[in-house]
Structures are given as structure tokens and as C-alpha cells.
Amino acid sequence: MSDIPPGLETLAYTFDGTVPAGDFAPVLVGVVGSGNLEVLAEPASGSVCAIEVSTSARGFGPIWQAVARDFHQRHPLAGVRFAINDMGATPAVVSLRLDQAVAELRASQEPAR
């Protein structure tokens, strides 16, 4: 028997950002489904990057921490909050969705042509 209780696990990670995210409308990428996840990126006050995870795959905190740290090393954003709703996505899918959220965030800041 597992010592991990049933239900969602909530994890939170905060990193000091060095690149202000700037103004942007909230961005939603991905879908909540088996082996997938959705990421919501929203502006936040301050100079941190906050990543909040709600996951059905309990007991993977160290892996989530490593994925979040890797993401922030690639995108050292400040003033942004990422909310992740996960249904058992692999670390590669998590990284892909976070990168997609940043790409959408940046695209929304570009002037219209």
C-alpha cells in the first residue's frame, strides 16, 4: 500500500526573476486531460516568478521542482504567475506547455502589423 493519500496535490515554487514579463493579457495553453495539462500565465506584482501546480499524480514534488527550476533558468521572468492543472503529464510535456505559454505571452506583447 502507498503512503500517498488520494486526491490532488498542490505544489508551489517561487523564483527571483530578472526579466520583467511586462503587461500582457492572461494566456491559457494546453488542456486538462490524461497525460496532459493546462498552463495559465497571468501578470503578477513584484519581481518573482510564481509557479503553482495542482496535480493528480501525487508524490512527484522533486521532479516538479526540477522542471520548474529548469524552466526558470531558460525564462527568468519576473512579475508573472503560472498556474498548472496537471493530469499526469511527463516532464517533457510540462516544459513544452510552459514554453508555449511564454511564447503566447511574448506574442501578445508584439505590436499588430
Q: Is the pLDDT of residue 112 over 70?
A: no
Q: Where are the domains of the chain?
A: 9-109
Report pLDDT for 4: 58
- Identify the CA nearest to 36 among candidates 101, 82, 88, 104: 88
Q: Is the pLDDT of residue 110 over 80?
A: no
Helix residue spans in the chain (DSSP H): 61-74, 91-109
Report pLDDT for 3: 66
Report pLDDT for 103: 97
pLDDT digits 0-9 by tens, 42-98:
999 999 999 999 998 889 999 999 999 999 999 999 999 999 999 999 999 999 999
Look up the pTM and report it: 0.90
Q: Looking at domain 9-109, which of 3.30.230, 3.30.160, 2.20.110, 3.40.50 is its CATH number?
A: 3.30.230
